[in-house]
Amino acid sequence: MTWTPGAARAARRIAAAAAVGGGGLTALGVATYGVLLAEALVARRIVGRPHGMEGPPSDGLYGDFPGEPIRMVMLGDSTSVGLGTTDPAETPAVLIASGLAVVAERPVRLTVVGKSGAASAELGEQVDQALDADPEIAVIFIGANDVTTQTLPAQAVRHLQKAVRRLREAGAEVVVGTCPDLGTVRPIVQPLRWVTRRWSRQLAAAQTVAVVEAGGRTVAFADLLGAEFDANPAEMFGPDRFHPSVQGYLQVAYAVLPSVGSALGLWPEPRVRRSESIYLAAAMAAEEPGTEVSATRVAGRATGPHGRWVTMFRRRPGAPPHDA
């Protein structure tokens, strides 16, 4: 991991600004802002939108098991709807729901309210729809469009935290896949790649702080979940070279499923758990794909000298529960 103390401080400043309604830290200086806009326009032309803007309809009942269905909702952006896939079974929402059904040995009733192109500011409307399904578990993938639209991190985090709190108050467990590192997207060139990497990871760290404070848990997407995306971009990215391929979405689902199971008490927690202050853990997780962060207590206390105590650990994607 290549985290620095400065990254932890940045996460703390963004989270603090979100709490008081300020603009917060931006990853862009005035000198680089114009360069970013120019490079972003070039990247958008290169990436294009060959998939359209809709994922395949995925609402339904998954898992051929008896019993009362577990109610799951999926919120977020284009990755939440599996943009680029044509078969609902290939979307991350259905992959997670199907895996959850096997773990629980109960059917899962899935409702997808995510929307391609959505930023964190649109989560409020999605939560309104999600609450109609009376969810037991909510999964959120969000953040990439906050970066591409140059939304101030504190503003984005504030919307996300409010969404998580509303879902938790309604009785749902919440798992958030944090902002992926857009610096891994090949059509994005320097200096835009460096800027988006910095902004993506600062936002991901701040998201972790906000989500845990609101009662949820996070899974770091970092560099889109591993060296596979960097080493095999033709396989792991779809035709637009921006969204994951079918294999890429499978990796995403494998990374998130254990945390969904744990949130519902269906997946054993790892035996080795590392306790850290929330800001340090958030910065470290933003650099390490697949790392889960959730609240804990140390010596009976929820907070320490540097903020809330959390546990962080990385589950091996695709591993069975006993090998977490």
Residues that are catalytic:
78, 240, 243
- Cβ partners under 8 Å of residue 84, min gap 6: 51, 55, 238, 239, 240, 243, 244, 245
Contacts of 262 (CB under 8 A, 6+ apart): 217, 268, 269, 292, 294
Widest Cα–Cα separation across the chain: 60
Give the distance, in angstroms, between the CA of residue 146 and the centroid of all CA atoms in the same chain: 12
Please state, in angstroms and as integers, the Cα–Cα distance from residue 250 to each residue in 3, 36, 96, 246, 247, following that order. Answer: 27, 31, 9, 6, 5
C-alpha 16: how far from its chain's center?
A: 20
Q: DSSP for 192-209?
A: HHHHHHHHHHHHHHHHHH
Give the contacts of 138 (CB within 8 A, at least 6 positions apart).
72, 73, 74, 75, 130, 167, 172, 173, 174, 175
Segment holding 316, helix H or strand E: none
Cα atoms in the Cβ-side hemisphere of radius 13 Å centred on 261 = 28
Other CB atoms within a 10 A radius of the CB of residue 71 amount to 17
Phi and psi, residue 110, nearest 5°:
-100, 135
Return the number of other C-beta atoms located less than 10 Å from residue 13's C-beta.
18
